[in-house]
Amino acid sequence: MCVLVIVTVAGAHAEPAETTGQSAPEPGLSDFAVGRLLVEAGRFEDALAFLEQAKPADEGEALERRFLLGAVYMRLGMPKEAAAQYEAILAVRPDLTRVRLELARAHYAAGQDDKAKHHFQLSLGDNLPSSVESAVEGFLNAIDARKRWSGYVSIAVLPETNVVRRTDRQTVNIGGATFRLNDDARQTSGIGTQVSTGAAYFPVVGTALRGHFALSMAAKLYEQSAWNDIAMVGKAGITRLFDGGSASSGVQAGRRWQGTAGFQYSVGPWASLVLRASDRMQISAAANLDYLTHDENDELDGWHVSLSPVVRFVMDSQTLLEVGPRFEAVEAQADHRSSRLVGIGVGVSHAFANGLSVSVSVSLQHQRYRADDPLFSMRREDETAWLSARLLHRSFQIGGFAPYIGYSYEQRRSSIALHDYDNHGVVVGLTREF
């Protein structure tokens, strides 16, 4: 069992009232002062009554009241209520690492391991005493060991200027002749609903072995059903736990629909690795090998290999940096459909003192096809760039869901001009992890 005790309460040094009875406090003391004294005396139920009705005199006292309430809720076995108090403090003072540690401990006690892990890892961005650092590592290992299931759900409204990712050109040149594109082949704006959800179960197989079963779904749905894109993936495998990380592998199968019809099947092995390389750095990698079978175009059938390592670095308790290269190889029956792709993505998230949290990411990728396109008599090469920004308020929730708003821009430039496009999008949604 991991024990992390860091609660210290600043307060008056006056002697507390006798703990054997309900004697009245000294005249003139505020509810806040009485509550603080009762906490120091270990009379947590009595302290709760005074602290809940206390009216703080200033902002500093308001933050201390919340901290005391969090400590009291924890001692009374109410970790979710404690977490709410600590989250409210961090919304205005994200630099308070001691509060972040208490929040992580409250989430851990409430069984909200993903949230606990996030805040424990952020806390390692500060220079913690060695004893506290060791305790945090113990909690992280314990979270990995006891994890049995996880889930998430997200729903958003997504207006885009180019839903179908098509060119805005009026004409295209083929074999020296100029052809005019009809409207169905050109850029079209629209508003979609984006839904993603998933769940995973990790049953105990052995001392350091866990089963790994997961099912996920992602969908973009539009009023014009021909634009719909839905994908489902199921995974089965096994996870090996070790100090500072885990390694997993197994098989997966997927199904994708585009418009109102089936588009492709996929099946193949997968593997992943998570490693805490240092107090501030985590390295993860995911590898997939899928054989793709398409419903209506068998020249696309073939193997798809992808490798996605990610380095996650905690710069401080408010700032997180992620860097992730990407590699893909696509083999298809038609050589001009086979390709190689390399890319890189960089993301930064920062929590501000006003309660706002901002995430910005940029990614670039280059994709080169194996053979000349038979229609255009030239080889296709694409350069694609993405920019996205997302904003949320950490202390604001709707029924347990965190609302967010974001903007994205996507651009592709191709050696075959027909594949050029630009797309701007705004996303407004709700997300929750379990």
What are the helix (H) ranges across 124-171? 130-146
Question: Bigger pLDDT: 66 or 20?
Answer: 66
pLDDT at 241: 92
pLDDT at 24 over 70: no
Smallest CA-to-CA distance from 260 within 297, 204, 222, 218 is with 222
- CA 167 from chain center: how many Å? 32
pLDDT at 183: 65
Q: pTM to 2 decimals?
A: 0.79
How far, in Å, CA of 34 to CA of 13, rounded? Answer: 12
Share of the chain above pLDDT 70, in %: 92
Q: What are the tokens at 245? A: 């990380």
Query: What are the residues whose beta carbons fall under 8 Å from the beta carbon of 353, sequence distance 6 or more?
Result: 92, 93, 94, 95
- Average pLDDT of the segment spanning 1-15: 38
pLDDT at 17 over 80: no
- Average pLDDT of the segment spanning 58-69: 93
pLDDT at 111: 87
pLDDT at 12 over 60: no
Tens-digit pLDDT profile for residues 215-244: 999 999 999 999 999 999 999 999 999 888
pLDDT at 14: 32
pLDDT at 11: 35
Question: Bigger pLDDT: 41 or 402?
Answer: 41
pLDDT at 20: 38
Question: Bigger pLDDT: 21 or 177?
Answer: 177
- Average pLDDT of the segment spanning 264-289: 96
Q: What is the mean pLDDT of the chain?
A: 89
Which segment of 72-76, 231-235, 266-270, 429-433 scores lowest on mean pLDDT?
429-433
Q: What are the tokens at 219? A: 């969908």
- Average pLDDT of the segment spanning 116-141: 88
pLDDT at 16 over 50: no
pLDDT at 356 over 70: yes
Q: Residue 102, CB half-sphere, CA atoms under 13 Å: how many? A: 30
Q: How confident is the model at residue 51 (pLDDT cuts 50, 70, 90)?
A: very high
Tens-digit pLDDT profile for residues 382-396: 999 999 999 987 667
Q: What are the tokens at 401? A: 């869901």
pLDDT at 267 over 60: yes
Task: Please classify residue 362 by burial: count the beta carbons closer than 10 Å to its beta carbon, then call 0-12 exposed, 13-18 middle and 19+ buried.
Answer: middle
pLDDT at 18: 38
- Look up tokens 């592709």; give the residue: 412
- Average pLDDT of the segment spanning 247-275: 97
Are the C-beta atoms of 32 and 51 separated by less than 8 Å?
yes
How far from 154 is each of 62, 193, 257, 269, CA to CA, in Å?
A: 33, 11, 20, 27
Q: How confident is the model at residue 332 (pLDDT cuts 50, 70, 90)?
A: very high
Among 171-175, 187-191, 198-202, name the most confident range: 198-202
pLDDT at 432: 84
Are the C-beta atoms of 340 and 368 separated by less than 8 Å?
yes
